[in-house]
Amino acid sequence: MIRQKKSYKTPSHAWDKERIEREREILKSYGLKKKVEIWKAETFLRKFRHLARKLAATKDKETEKIIIDKLSKLGVLGENATIDDVLGLTLEKVLQRRLQTVLVNRGLVTTSKQARQYIVHGHVMINGRKIIYPSYIVPKDEETKIQLTIIPQMKKVEPPVTQ
């Protein structure tokens, strides 16, 4: 049986007040459920920054181009990015590409909590494929192919009955 490893690394100092406050603000602004989601995005960034530092030292242009192309397809970087742009990536750039945030930014839903609920309940499709993970990183070419299978309905308010 193959055991899966954790896909994130926890902070080294558990009770750092500034980090806790920063994470709380990020949780609110992006509608995340747990801090683990932040840590996974940070690990994603850490991996690419590590590769970028290696490539900056070795000057391997082919691998550098591959990494930049991958990040630009995901929409995290622009088309004419350099290895320095990879080193300058922020957590917000990655969190902006999550399916939950993309739904809110495109105006398909009104709040990030509503977006999360629609995704988890299976009401969001990309290219005819149901996606049930709010943390799915939406590639740039798939962003226009997002569909909701349920139409949000507003509650009807009936006028009061006068006698």
pLDDT band at 151 (very low <50, low <70, confident <90, very high): confident
pLDDT (0 to 100) of residue 116 = 95
**75/58 Cα distance (integer angstroms):** 26
pTM: 0.86
pLDDT (0 to 100) of residue 150 = 84
Residues 27-40: what's their mean pLDDT?
Answer: 96
| H helix or E strand, kind and range, residue 124 | strand 124-126
Query: One-letter amino acid identity for 61?
Result: K
pLDDT (0 to 100) of residue 154 = 57
**68/103 Cα distance (integer angstroms):** 25
| Mean pLDDT value across the chain | 92
CATH superfamily membership of 98-150: RNA-binding S4 domain (3.10.290.10)
- Using CA atoms, how far residue 46 sits from 3, 86, 109, 115, in Å, is 23, 10, 31, 27
Q: Is 111 left (phi over 0), alpha (psi -120 to 50) or beta?
A: beta
Domain limits, the chain: 17-95, 98-150
* Whether the predicted pLDDT of 68 surpasses 60: yes
